[in-house]
């Protein structure tokens, strides 16, 4: 099993959610996050004063998937989150040792 974490632009969230739902992903966790990569922030003006925004708002999606579905999930996220502009985000893939459904006690792929 794998844990897929994708950091994307806010306005792409609905597209990514729909793409994942369409391929059969049944659950995900969404968190509002702030950060920067190569983009390194930008300048904004508030009440006539210019200031630098170093941490940009993004959305982080976490999805647990069986290994055989990994490539399909990565493709769906990448295609639905891409705008072609700087700051589209990143996808991280981690090994997932175990999953336990609290209500039933199911473990592993059955618990996803």
Q: Based on the number of CB atoms within 10 Å of its own CB, is 65 exposed (0-12), middle (13-18) or buried (19 or more)?
A: buried
CATH of the domain at 71: 3.30.70.120
DSSP H helix total and E strand total for the chain = 2, 6
- Domain hosting 25: range is 2-111
pLDDT at 43: 66
Number of domains in the chain: 1
pTM of the model: 0.85
Q: Average pLDDT over the chain, rounded to whole? A: 91
Tokens standing for residue 79: 């295609």
- The pLDDT tens digits for 63-97 are 999 999 999 999 999 999 999 988 899 999 999 99
């Amino acid at each position: 099993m794998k844990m897929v974490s994708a950091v994307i632009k806010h306005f792409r969230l609905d597209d990514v959610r729909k793409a994942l739902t369409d391929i059969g992903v049944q659950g995900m966790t969404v968190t509002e996050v702030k950060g920067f990569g190569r983009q390194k922030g930008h300048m904004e003006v508030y009440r006539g004063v210019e200031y630098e925004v170093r941490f940009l708002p993004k959305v982080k999606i976490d999805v647990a998937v069986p290994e055989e579905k990994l490539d399909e999930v990565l493709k769906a996220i990448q295609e639905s989150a891409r705008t072609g502009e700087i700051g589209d985000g990143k996808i991280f893939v981690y090994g997932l040792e175990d999953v336990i459904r609290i209500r039933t006690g199911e473990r592993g792929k059955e618990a996803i």
